[in-house]
Amino acid sequence: MQLAPAIWPSPRAHLVSARPDEAVLYFAPDVLQATARKFQAGFPGLVTYAVKANDAVEVLENLTAAG
């Protein structure tokens, strides 16, 4: 997955300026992957993900990359 450089200094700055009518996804792939790995390391059971919780391709690709 190719990451695009940040266009806005923060999500808040974007929301104030653009005032989007539809939902906008903001996330940090490195933080998502690190959090997933930390959870997996500390959880003894099978870790699964409910895709209906967030089916954004970016999220799914990064969770897959985290293992």
State the chain's mean pLDDT as an integer.
88
- The answer to whether position 50 is within a domain reads yes
- The answer to whether position 47 is within a domain reads yes
Residue 5's alpha-carbon distances to 2, 9, 31, 37, 56, in angstroms, are 10, 11, 16, 24, 19
- The answer to whether position 17 is within a domain reads no
Total domains, the chain: 1
The answer to pTM > 0.75 is no
Could you tell me the pLDDT band of residue 6, with boundaries at 50, 70 and 90? confident
> Domain limits at 52?
27-66
